[in-house]
């Protein structure tokens, strides 16, 4: 199938008329029909052509669908199937010949849209004379296009869904390896005049996370020593795994259900309720009092810091959680805020929610009556200093309500991963393209084919347990995800140590460490927790993250040890994680 698609896409599908492959030729004919008619993606005749294409060139499709349905039914009928196989496709979501035909029709229509939009992007110089504006889409300066290296996949341009279950399409263009500019800035003009270029200073410690394709820039020649007060603050901080339990003593698992709003909302609300009611752990209420007591007993580090930061994945989730907290904490109703995107337009005709806080106003939170702030993890990155009247971190505790997990079709993240692999493959002497390629041209062909196959494999990644390493391609997705998750944790706790003060960090989603959550559940009812295996980096992202930071902080790694030793010690001593 992929050979047919590759053949179909290798040239302009409108200008090209035929192929040596009959299946590809028929796809080209359908695209021509769509282009000539200018009809919508629901044209009935084109749908029939797509359906006939499937049944003609893949006649076993119906048998394969029937066999898939049987296998899924067998798995669903097994005991504890929901727990063992949470990722099984719902029966109503299984494809049929009809839905596959509609998918093909939609895909071919979007392929045509890609082709036309690409002209707007890359051939704007041929625009009519009455269009004088510069291209509104180009982000990279034109002068850089011929300097920075091309992606190993070749230039990529396409259309994708903006988010899961969304009807909105977005465009992406992957034209150059941008990080080459940073990695070689110190050699600027060196080849021209022989002089040494500028020294490059990365202002964030997370620029050194060797396993993260998202954040790692390169191995530095040195590191500015972190502030002693910040290191001491982290070393005095504590982390705890704090899963919540339902009325059947089952750990509440948030991650894995966030893609479906109908499932995500009640689960997040259930967690929030458990943390603030006597029927649950009531932990947030207790923590607020603990922070207040610490402020009285140790004012140098804890005064005016009885505030809590709650982190979720999206703005909408922050609203759900904040509203649930207000329901069960009526005495704190006006003190519970949820962060709102600065780009969100106000709802007309609706009463303004006083609990909303604009992202631009986040640094003033401590100077309001606010005690609890709920916000997305990605909104609290570098650049924000949320301080109290003493000039110290306003929050004393942070709760990670969800376990962050990348969207499999995040094209920006995939491009970043391919950029990193490009440099690793270049330096790998036994890389497949260098070993099997006979000359530069053939090596380049193998490299491009390998890179495109790699891109597709990243798009097919799903659950953490299913991630697999590929040593030949230097792909270690679990280590990558763990290091990237570590960066999220660092960015969050970085807001809580300003002024050299410690903090409390809590991981609430049971998905962080499933087996540890089950052991805690067993202890709650007097069962033997030792009957349950400890967590490992194979099944727990939290354990994998801890092992990554401990590896970086090893004493033989001077850079990682200087940056991460205190954090590694604090995470290694985390409470309630058994590994």
| Rounded Cα distance, 46 and 262, in Å | 34
In a domain, 80, yes or no: yes
88, 115, 133 — which closes off a domain? 133
| Nearest alpha carbon to residue 491 among 578, 416, 384 | 384
What is the pLDDT, as a whole number, of residue 153?
A: 92
Instruction: With a cut of 70, say whether residue 536 has pLDDT above it.
Output: yes
104, 133, 162 — which closes off a domain? 133
Instruction: With a cut of 60, say whether residue 137 has pLDDT above it.
Output: no
Instruction: With a cut of 60, say whether residue 136 has pLDDT above it.
Output: no
In a domain, 91, yes or no: yes
In a domain, 499, yes or no: yes
Quickly state the pLDDT bin for 256 (edges 50, 70, 90): confident
Let me know whether 122 and 257 are in one domain: no
Handedness of CA 403, 409, 412, 416 (dihedral sign): positive
**Number of domains the chain is built from:** 2
In a domain, 143, yes or no: no
pLDDT over 70, % of the chain? 90
Let me know whether 11 and 121 are in one domain: yes
Instruction: With a cut of 70, say whether residue 2 has pLDDT above it.
Output: yes
Instruction: With a cut of 90, say whether residue 191 has pLDDT above it.
Output: no
Residue with more model confidence, 409 or 99: 99
In a domain, 459, yes or no: no
Let me know whether 110 and 244 are in one domain: no
Let me know whether 524 and 384 are in one domain: yes
Lowest mean pLDDT among 8-17, 145-154, 507-516: 8-17
In a domain, 41, yes or no: yes
Quickly state the pLDDT bin for 99 (edges 50, 70, 90): very high
**Tokens representing 507?**
């991981």
| Rounded Cα distance, 95 and 462, in Å | 19
What is the pLDDT, as a whole number, of residue 10?
A: 79
Give CA separation, 177 vs 148, 170, 200, in Å: 6, 21, 18
Let me know whether 125 and 241 are in one domain: no
Mean confidence (pLDDT) of the chain: 87
pLDDT digits (tens, 9 = 90+) for 142-168: 667 778 899 999 888 777 766 655 667
Question: Whole-prediction pTM value?
Answer: 0.80
pLDDT digits (tens, 9 = 90+) for 18-32: 888 899 999 999 998
Quickly state the pLDDT bin for 454 (edges 50, 70, 90): very high
Coil, strand or helix: which one is 158? strand
92, 109, 133 — which closes off a domain? 133
Q: Where are the beta strands (DSSP E) in 286-341?
A: 308-312, 336-340
Task: Give the strand pairing for 397-400 and 504-507.
Answer: parallel
Please compute the mean of the pLDDT values over residues 531-551 and round it to a whole number: 96
pLDDT over 90, % of the chain? 54
| Rounded Cα distance, 451 and 436, in Å | 15
Quickly state the pLDDT bin for 428 (edges 50, 70, 90): very high
In a domain, 280, yes or no: yes
- The domain spanning residue 372 has which CATH number? 3.40.50.300
Quickly state the pLDDT bin for 348 (edges 50, 70, 90): low
Let me know whether 381 and 511 are in one domain: yes
In a domain, 394, yes or no: yes
What is the pLDDT, as a whole number, of residue 345?
A: 58
What is the pLDDT, as a whole number, of residue 39?
A: 61
Handedness of CA 294, 386, 546, 164 (dihedral sign): positive
| Rounded Cα distance, 385 and 393, in Å | 8
Q: Which domain holds residue 487?
A: 228-346+353-406+481-534
What is the pLDDT, as a whole number, of residue 161?
A: 65
What is the pLDDT, as a whole number, of residue 192?
A: 85
Instruction: With a cut of 90, say whether residue 11 has pLDDT above it.
Output: no
Please compute the mean of the pLDDT values over residues 252-274 and round it to a whole number: 87
Instruction: With a cut of 80, say whether residue 234 has pLDDT above it.
Output: yes
Let me know whether 115 and 250 are in one domain: no
What is the pLDDT, as a whole number, of residue 570?
A: 95
Helical (H) or strand (E) element with 373: strand 372-376
Let me know whether 402 and 265 are in one domain: yes
């Amino acid at each position: 199938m992929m050979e047919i698609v590759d053949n179909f896409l290798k040239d302009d599908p409108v200008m090209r008329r035929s192929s040596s492959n009959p299946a590809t030729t028929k796809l080209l004919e359908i695209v021509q029909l769509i282009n000539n008619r200018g009809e919508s993606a629901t044209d009935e005749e084109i749908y029939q052509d797509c359906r006939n294409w499937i049944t003609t060139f893949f006649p076993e499709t119906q048998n394969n669908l029937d066999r898939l349905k049987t296998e899924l039914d067998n798995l669903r009928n097994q005991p504890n199937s929901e727990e063992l196989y949470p990722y099984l496709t719902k029966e109503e979501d299984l494809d049929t010949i009809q839905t596959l035909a509609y998918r093909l029709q939609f895909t071919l229509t979007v392929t045509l849209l890609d082709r036309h939009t690409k002209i707007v992007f890359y051939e704007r110089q041929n625009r009519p004379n009455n269009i004088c504006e510069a291209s509104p889409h180009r982000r990279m300066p034109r002068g850089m296009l011929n300097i920075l290296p091309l992606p190993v996949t070749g230039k990529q341009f396409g259309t994708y869904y903006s988010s899961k279950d969304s009807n909105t399409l977005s465009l992406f263009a992957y034209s150059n390896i941008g990080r080459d500019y940073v990695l070689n800035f110190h050699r600027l003009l060196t080849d021209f005049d022989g002089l040494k270029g500028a020294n490059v200073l990365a202002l964030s410690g997370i620029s050194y996370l060797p396993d993260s394709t998202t954040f790692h820039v390169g191995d530095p020649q040195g590191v500015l020593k972190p502030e002693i007060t910040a290191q001491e603050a982290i070393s005095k901080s504590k982390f705890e795994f704090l899963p919540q339990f339902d009325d059947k003593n089952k750990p509440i698992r948030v991650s894995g259900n966030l893609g479906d709003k109908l499932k995500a909302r009640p689960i997040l609300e259930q967690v929030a309720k458990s943390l603030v009611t006597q029927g649950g752990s009531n932990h947030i209420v207790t923590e607020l009092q603990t922070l207040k007591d610490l402020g009285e007993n140790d004012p140098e580090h804890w005064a005016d810091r009885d505030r809590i930061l709650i982190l979720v994945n999206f703005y909408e989730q922050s609203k759900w959680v904040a509203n649930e907290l207000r329901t069960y904490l009526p005495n704190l109703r006006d003190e519970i805020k949820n962060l709102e995107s600065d780009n969100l337009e106000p709802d007309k005709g609706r009463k303004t929610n006083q609990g909303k806080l604009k992202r631009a106003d986040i640094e003033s939170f401590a100077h309001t009556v606010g005690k609890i702030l709920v916000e997305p993890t990605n909104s609290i990155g570098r650049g924000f200093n949320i301080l109290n009247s003493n000039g110290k971190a306003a929050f004393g505790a942070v709760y990670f309500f969800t376990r962050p997990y990348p969207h499999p079709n995040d094209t920006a993240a995939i491009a970043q991963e391919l950029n990193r692999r490009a440099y690793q493959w270049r330096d790998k002497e036994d890389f497949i393209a260098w070993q099997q390629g006979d000359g530069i041209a053939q090596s380049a062909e193998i490299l491009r084919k390998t890179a495109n196959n790699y891109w597709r494999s990243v798009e097919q990644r799903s659950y953490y347990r299913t991630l697999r390493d590929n040593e030949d391609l230097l792909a270690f997705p679990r280590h990558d995800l763990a290091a990237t998750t570590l960066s999220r944790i660092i960015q969050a706790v970085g807001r809580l140590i300003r002024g050299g003060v410690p903090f409390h960090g809590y991981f609430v989603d049971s998905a962080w460490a499933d087996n540890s959550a089950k052991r805690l559940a067993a202890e709650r009812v007097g069962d033997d927790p030792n009957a349950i295996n400890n967590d490992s980096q194979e099944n727990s992202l939290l354990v994998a993250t801890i092992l990554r930071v401990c590896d970086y902080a090893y004493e033989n790694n001077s850079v990682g040890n200087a940056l991460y030793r205190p954090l590694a010690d604090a995470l290694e001593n985390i409470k309630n994680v058994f590994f």
